[in-house]
Structure 1
Amino acid sequence: MQLGKGVEWCTHICGMLALVPTGKGLSAEALADFFEVPSAYLAKQMQLLRRAGIVESVRGKGGGYRLARGVDAITLLDIVQAIEGPSPAFRCTEIRQNGPCGLKRKDCKAPCEIASAFAEAEEVYRDALRAKTLAAINAEAAANGSPEHFIEVAQWVQRQVS
């Protein structure tokens, strides 16, 4: 399974948006510049996050994007599903019914064992993403990073929203 770049970008951005003061926002352009990613592509990703209720857009001076809910209420699964959609990664096409020895549809009484195995694995994966909040990710980043770096990032955010 491979997730698109947008998932990585948006997870980092949501982590940064946690630093945005109430009533303020960060522009998609400022976020794109900060992470050195294409602004047009990022703008599309931000719209997906907005539609999913993860971020909200603020108009006017100090406008841009901010989190729509608290970091403890946003999971990695929320971000993945906002960007990639809710569909499962594996889609069974029932090829066991194809070919010279294919099973007859009426003989396929139980779900395909391969599809079942992938569905079970994906549920474990989704449960793990569902259990990891943005708050937990930010706490881990703070514990593993240098205080100077976090101060630098917080100061950058403050300059952007002032």
Structure 2
Amino acid sequence: MRMSEGVEWGLHCCVVLAWLDDLTPLPVGRLAEVFDLPAEYLKKQLQPLAKAGILRSEAGARGGYRLGRAPQDISLMDVVTAIEGSTDPFQCTEIRRRGAGKTAGVEEFAHPCGISKAMRKAELAWRRELAGQTLADLIASTPATAERRTRRFIERTS
């Protein structure tokens, strides 16, 4: 399964926004500085998160992003779907029915393709695993030193 770097960026930004809830909203430029990322590209990654309600965007001179829901209410799958879309990664086009398959009897195709079934099963397990983990779970497994370091960085450069 290949995902864009936007998923990683989005998840990290969500963690930071959860840590720094008392300092939000944070402008996209400030979030970009935390990870040394290009602000304009990061903004394009955060916009779908705002559209999905994962983040809330606030306009104005003191505007920026904040979490749109509590960390325990944001699954990793929510973030992946917001950034990557909900299209199935595997698309079965039934190539088994082409070429040599054109001469096969109808009974040969009475059951779904084994490859398609295996891929769907793997995809479902992947989706369930991501849906079962929340932003709060990520935060709980992150060293407290990372939060303190990030907070000092934001407060020092404000």
The reply to whether TM is greater than 0.5 is: yes
Q: How does 1:1-162 map to 2 (within 5 A)?
A: 1-21=1-21, 24-102=24-102, 107=107, 108-141=109-142, 145=143, 147-158=144-155
Q: Is the 8 A contact 1:90 1:118 kept in 2?
A: yes
Unaligned runs of 5+ in 2: none
Letter in 2 for 1:109: A
Change (3 A) 1:126 1:58: same
Unaligned runs of 5+ in 1: none
Aligned partners of 1:54, 1:139: CA distance in 2, in Å?
19
1:100 to partner: Cα distance: 2.6
TM-score (norm 2): 0.88
Aligned partners of 2:103, 2:80: CA distance in 1, in Å?
36
1:34 to partner: Cα distance: 1.6
1:41 to partner: Cα distance: 1.5
Give secondary structure in 1 for the equivalent of 2:77.
Answer: helix
The 4+ residue runs of structure 1 with deviation greater than 6 A are none
Q: 1:122-147: CA deviations, max 9, x gaps? A: 11111000011000100100xxx2x4
TM-score (norm 1): 0.86
RMSD: 2.2
Aligned partners of 1:151, 1:55: CA distance in 2, in Å?
22
Change (3 A) 1:101 1:21: closer
- Counting aligned pairs with the same residue, the percent is 38
